[in-house]
Amino acid sequence: MDESTKRKWDFSSSFYDLLAYGPERRWAPCKRDLFTNMNGKVLFVAIGTGQDIPFFPPGKDIVGIDISPRMLTKAKIRAAEYDGSLDLKVMDIHAMESSDHSFDQVVTSCTFCSVPNPVAGLSALRRVLKLGGMLYMFEHTGSSVFPFNLMLNIMTPIWKPIGPEMNRDTVANVEKAGFEILQVNNVYLDVVKTITARSPA
């Protein structure tokens, strides 16, 4: 378990919902749309305080993991409202206990801005994903366009101690981890995007 990452998100859990009020409502339509793809046994990575749970389609079989026990304590309240199977577990993506090829799909939501080693984390997801299984991501990334790339580079060292990194190239990281990219859809500028990828069969 990465203790420093765990401590960071345990600390952030106390004000996370306050800061997430606007973003979650703004992104709700897009997330609902992405999550309609959920099918089979689904691993939801970094479920946090469970802000995304109300957007899950009903009747799904989902395992939600997060590195922060304090985040999950809050998520449990929202999970109790979910009309389906939702199992929450404290787990570090870099040390996942799940057996190989045990999930049909993996879904992430603003996760790979924060995973300390994103390529290793994505490779771990590939390990637990069935061959040919789908990866659906809602992520914010760096930008290739001035002045947004400059802004994100300035903000990254300021926000990193208590939150995410703003300038990651998550699409490239997904490819580096061996996934086959099927679709990248820009939600806001080239910064907020949905990524659909497949673990090669």
Partner 1 sequence: MERRIYFIAGDFISNGIMGMTTALLATRIVDQTWEMFPAMLAGMGIGMGFSMILMPIFVGLFGAMEVMLPVMLTAMLTGMVFAMADTMLGLTVINIMLGGVLTGILVLLLTYAANLILRSKNL
Q: Report the helix count and the strand count for the chain, using DSSP H and E.
A: 6, 7
The footprint of partner 1 on this chain (CB under 8 A) covers a number of residues equal to: 29
Tell me if residue 161 falls in helix, strand or coil. coil
- Specify the pairing of strand 129-140 against strand 192-198: antiparallel
User: Which residue's structure tokens are 């879904």?
Assistant: 107
The verdict on 190 binding partner 1 (CB under 8 A) reads yes
Site string for partner 1, 117-146 (x = CB under 8 A): -----------------------x----x-
The verdict on 184 binding partner 1 (CB under 8 A) reads yes
- Specify the pairing of strand 85-90 against strand 103-109: unpaired
User: Which residue's structure tokens are 């497949």?
Assistant: 198
Q: Which is nearer to partner 1, 124 or 192 (CB)?
A: 192
Query: What whole-number distance in Å separates Cα of residue 121 and Cα of residue 112?
Result: 8
The verdict on 19 binding partner 1 (CB under 8 A) reads yes
Contact residue for partner 1 among 1, 7, 14, 26 (CB under 8 A): 26
Contact residue for partner 1 among 90, 119, 151, 172 (CB under 8 A): 151
The verdict on 14 binding partner 1 (CB under 8 A) reads no
The verdict on 30 binding partner 1 (CB under 8 A) reads no
* Shortest Å, Cβ 156 to partner 1: 12
Contact residue for partner 1 among 1, 7, 14, 21 (CB under 8 A): 21
CA-CA-CA-CA torsion for 14, 15, 16, 19, nearest 10 degrees? 170
